[in-house]
Structure 1
């Protein structure tokens, strides 16, 4: 039996790979996509999601627009890693959608999908957590319909947008704290420490691009993203952060998780948006939240290639 899956996203190059992975995986049923501000503004993230849906031949999946700003404080700035439009300036190379956004907002779509589900739904937030925080705040009774959250976000040993904070959590720390600290939904956090270790090379991307027209279109979106990693990390490849989280949603247990107590820094100092992980042995008690800490790295890359090459 397939697992119903909702992806909450801010496409984003790695988000594009994540959506494609879900579309290519028979273990899950992609029942909805919701968009949020993040890598670029909400209008662009939503437009990108619609074009990616068209590329993947999944016009049946509803796409609903969500939050265009954080819960409380203004968003300082958007990411530059993904280019001017979120897809390396190449969003227009994707097919024009034949279906527009769902008339419902993101929270309403998620609510109605959860209410209608006959089995637990996995939600994979791979952008700022604003939409999910709003869902849980407005509809706490629906928590029982959520099988698991698989959240791409945070860094155990530092960040990427600041020295301390990873972009998704930093974009709305108050929402992140609401979801990761104050709620009790079973949650797996996939931090950038692990996703960086799952990075793929430019050669891997080139090989993937030769497998199909859809794969080639995906790879064609990576130019600015590749430039960013070459410039900042000296690495000829990319980190497909969000696809690693979706891989765990597709194959639970693909990533090794450790039960940690966590917090999110919501102060206004240099640590704002940081994921604070208590790694003391005495604090490791079984709970609702685990942090993904390890995996078979080559196995993850092979899984991604196998699925994405089947598009």
Structure 2
């Protein structure tokens, strides 16, 4: 499976990217694009570069939109730290080249060249993806599906109703959900229940360089999560990537997912349309749960592959 990975690397995006890189027999990452979200665009691009350099990759990295289509960006230093990906001091010694091209044009050119359809995995605000769809509608047939982390049907985490990625750019999210593409949503309803324990995180210190680095990032993330009431770490973005690679391990249902773009208490809320509109968009899919207890095991196996690669 070929993927484009669009992200705003904090710790949970890092686990998603490491999982993709750790399964080259299943996944080919065509490029990594960044978007302003967890932190400002320069920091999240730097974080993505650190990870790619650490893992000795040669995947194109391209910097995308600095902020939402209409609103001001509000970063999440409280959750992810001042760098957007605190927890592993050794990463900042790495450097990685960033493409000069505009990210939207760069992704479109990649898609145009592909003979097979490509999956987009997006784990930050959907600004880049919305612009890609609107600017280059001719590439829509080249996209197999879009798997996102964002939203929540039962609740939010920035407001009572809205999750951060969608709340940051609701207008972009609505463009993506209302497109003719299959859009699969890993929202808070599943990601907050799909967690990694402190014991599992500690076990990574017995592995190789990738495992230890991931363990350090997750240790910070788990401790940070305690301020929000979590004991185990809900590694949100990893759910989307694992679904993209192993959908057979999840339960998901068709749903007509909408985004509230009316300013007010419900701004940025994702909800399932009811009544006459309920079944109009069966191409949208809501991930309900992971049906097998493999969340950490799949990450651990991916890291072990990278460990072997890095020490050889």
Q: If the TM-score is normalised by the length of the shorter chain, which range does it land in?
A: over 0.9
Q: How do 1:93-242 and structure 2 match up within 5 A? A: 93-94=90-91, 96-181=93-178, 183-235=179-231, 237-242=232-237
Question: In the TM superposition, what is the alpha-carbon distance from 1:178 to its structure 2 partner?
Answer: 0.7
Q: Is the 8 A contact 1:7 1:32 kept in 2?
A: yes
TM-score by length of 1: 0.93
Q: Is the 8 A contact 2:104 2:131 kept in 1?
A: yes
Q: Is the 8 A contact 2:22 2:303 kept in 1?
A: yes
**Which residue of structure 2 lines up, in the alignment, with residue 291 of structure 1?**
286
Asked whether 1:47 is paired with 2:43, we answer no
**Which residue of structure 2 lines up, in the alignment, with residue 274 of structure 1?**
269
Question: In the TM superposition, what is the alpha-carbon distance from 1:276 to its structure 2 partner?
Answer: 1.2
Question: In the TM superposition, what is the alpha-carbon distance from 1:168 to its structure 2 partner?
Answer: 0.5
Asked whether 1:255 is paired with 2:250, we answer yes
Q: Distance between the aligned counterparts of 1:214 and 1:307, measured in 2? A: 9
Question: In the TM superposition, what is the alpha-carbon distance from 1:27 to its structure 2 partner?
Answer: 0.3
SS of 1:220's equivalent in the other structure is helix
Question: In the TM superposition, what is the alpha-carbon distance from 1:304 to its structure 2 partner?
Answer: 2.2
Identify unmatched segments of 5+ residues in structure 1: none
RMSD (CA atoms): 1.9
**Which residue of structure 2 lines up, in the alignment, with residue 70 of structure 1?**
68
**Which residue of structure 2 lines up, in the alignment, with residue 17 of structure 1?**
15
4+ long deviations beyond 3 Å: 76-79, 95-99, 278-282
Question: In the TM superposition, what is the alpha-carbon distance from 1:282 to its structure 2 partner?
Answer: 8.8
Identify unmatched segments of 5+ residues in structure 2: 307-312
SS of 1:226's equivalent in the other structure is helix
Q: Is the 8 A contact 2:148 2:186 kept in 1?
A: yes
Question: In the TM superposition, what is the alpha-carbon distance from 1:100 to its structure 2 partner?
Answer: 1.2
- Post-superposition Cα deviations, 1:53-93, rounded to whole Å, max 9, x if no partner, equal 011121x1000000001001222443420000011264x42
1:133 to 1:234, Cα distance in 2 relative to 1, 3 A:
closer
SS of 1:298's equivalent in the other structure is coil
SS of 2:78's equivalent in the other structure is coil
Q: Is the 8 A contact 2:162 2:266 kept in 1?
A: yes
Q: Is the 8 A contact 1:197 1:297 kept in 2?
A: no
Q: Is the 8 A contact 1:81 1:224 kept in 2?
A: no
- Post-superposition Cα deviations, 1:257-288, rounded to whole Å, max 9, x if no partner, equal 11111111112211111111236799346721
Task: Tell me the matched-pair count.
Answer: 305
